[in-house]
Amino acid sequence: MSSTARPSSLLQEAVRRLAPVLPLLTELGERFVAAGHEVALVGGPVRDAFLGRTSPDLDFTTDATPEQTEKVLRGWVDAHWDVGRAFGTIGARKGNTTIEVTTYRADAYDRTTRKPEVAFGDNLADDLVRRDFTVNAMALRLPALEFVDPHDGLADLAARVLRTPGTPQESFADDPLRMMRAARFVAQLGFALAPEVDAAVRDMAGRLEIISAERIRVELEKLLLSPDPKAGLRVLVDTGLADQMLPELPALKLELDEHHRHKDVYEHSLIVLEQAIALEGPPDGPEESVPGPDLVLRLAALLHDIGKPATRRFEPGGGVSFHHHEVVGAKMTAKRLRALRFDKDTVKAVSRLVELHLRFHGYGEGQWTDSAVRRYVTDAGPLLPRLHRLTRSDCTTRNVRKAQRLSRTYDELEARIARLLEQEELAAVRPELDGNQIAEVLGIRPGPLLGRAYKHLLAVRLDRGPIGEDAAREELLAWWAQQPEAAG
């Protein structure tokens, strides 16, 4: 959007972008007006219309109470619900469009929690001033589509700057989560913080401590899944917000990369994240392409080196090492993600990728045996497509020859994996005797001993590939002869 465009032309363009839902907006506005109420499209949908973006849902504000809103909507919408009634919100569905209508708010905060003492207002101006940023404090009164912009949000939108309707100190004191939303909008929309907003976030970052981990996680997820998460992460780190919710990230600024390719591991990690995003498949691509945006891959790329500060060692001659940082980092990753209330599957997947991200470097010049390749595949399991992308992204050397050599070597590894997968169905590798067969051969019952026998045959399968059931029985009996239980 051009910063020199006239407001009238911008409004015309925004209305044009709203054309698909214009009949719905008109009908809704006419119903509220006929019932003696006012209603306006507000917030994100208005902002997105000016930005040329499509908003998935439509948000409205009104002077009608929730009960009055329900009465207006009843019979017109296909379905409605009132799970947000306590906050003045009635949700509804009209065709394929989801709408939310919220009574004007004039909330009060005691500032020991981000939960407001809900109070309904009686005018649009008071409702808009309580919103997070000026670009979200614009409205279109319905059904006339009268543009309401008391805080110059359109000018800030044109300048791509984030300001608050009131003072940022008051806004962030009321709801500290707005500071993280600012970082998220930087990542999502390509905006910058106004100087006074940036200063307020730096001064008030500690207020984030009153926000629940779940709410912080939601904002972090939205930021990471944005088009430019690196820009938003820089805001989190530079303002001190990351110190409150992801301290492992700013800690990387203190650690020199062992190859001195970057001024610190923090910069390296941001580049790895950027490169991993570039390797994601299209949103509608097959699973093996890792359709983007992919939260697990992006978290792993961001956190893959967080074990370096704890494992840094200064070597004779001036070198620096970070031995086993992938193992330490995997544990740190799991701990941090659990603290942020990520689900168990995400915690397990991301920490596993962090643990495996250095495995490829043992491949060297391609001297791995087929057994080592099998173990690489089976250890990664369903995470293999993500591991491929994480490993490739972790190459940030400025040495072109070295980068090309690493890329060729990984090409060779992927080709070997493809051949073995085709020959042996490694994705579902199993011992060549199942549990029942093992129990029958050894004459034992299910239990820990059977589990040990199963693991032994699995190791044989990985080391030697398919050997057939007869050879597997011979191998099992040879193993059994050396077990203390066999003598009994």
CATH code for the domain of 190: 1.10.110.30
> At how many degrees (to 10) do helices 344-356 and 384-393 cross?
50
Q: Do 71 and 197 fall into the same domain?
A: no
Rounded CA separation 303/241 (Å): 17
CA 106 to chain centre: 32
Q: What's the total number of domains in the chain?
A: 4
Q: Of 153-157, 228-232, 356-360, which one has max mean pLDDT?
A: 228-232
Find the angle CA(348)-CA(267)-CA(297) to the nearest 5 degrees. 25
Q: Of 32-46, 399-413, 449-463, which one has max mean pLDDT?
A: 32-46
What is the overall mean pLDDT for the chain?
89
Under 8 Å between Cβ of 372 and 360: no
Question: In 52-91, which ranges are continuous DSSP H helix?
Answer: 66-73
Under 8 Å between Cβ of 13 and 36: no
What pLDDT band is residue 94 in, cutting at 50, 70 and 90?
A: very high
pLDDT in tens, 360-377: 887 766 678 888 888 888
Q: Do 375 and 300 fall into the same domain?
A: yes
Specify if 384 maps to a domain: yes
Q: Do 420 and 284 fall into the same domain?
A: yes
Token pair in block for residue 81: 């619900």
- The 8-class DSSP code of residue 432 comes to S
Lowest-confidence segment of 56-60, 83-87, 113-117, 386-390 by average pLDDT: 113-117
For residue 281, the number of C-alpha atoms closer than 13 Å in the C-beta half-sphere is 11
Token pair in block for residue 223: 């930021």
Q: Do 12 and 80 fall into the same domain?
A: yes
Query: In this structure, what CATH number is given to the domain that contains residue 104?
Result: 3.30.460.10
Q: Do 144 and 16 fall into the same domain?
A: yes
Specify if 234 maps to a domain: yes
Mean pLDDT of 108-118: 62
Q: Do 286 and 216 fall into the same domain?
A: no
Mean pLDDT of 153-179: 94
pLDDT above 70 for 34: yes
Omega cis (within 30) before 293: yes
Query: Which domain does 167 fall in, by range?
Result: 160-246
Mean pLDDT of 422-448: 80
Mean pLDDT of 189-210: 97
What pLDDT band is residue 459 in, cutting at 50, 70 and 90?
A: confident
Q: Do 218 and 148 fall into the same domain?
A: no
Q: Do 12 and 128 fall into the same domain?
A: yes
Token pair in block for residue 268: 């390296």
- The 8-class DSSP code of residue 118 comes to -
Token pair in block for residue 294: 């992919």
Distance between terminal CA atoms of the chain? 82
Rounded CA separation 262/250 (Å): 15
Q: What are phi and psi of 314, to 5 degrees?
A: -90, 120
The predicted pLDDT at position 231 comes to 97
Q: Do 176 and 288 fall into the same domain?
A: no
Mean pLDDT of 391-410: 86
Residue 184's nearest CA partner among 129, 113, 140, 239 is: 239
pLDDT above 60 for 8: yes
pLDDT above 50 for 262: no
**393 exposed, middle or buried (CB, 10 Å; 0-12, 13-18, 19+)?**
buried
Q: Do 225 and 356 fall into the same domain?
A: no
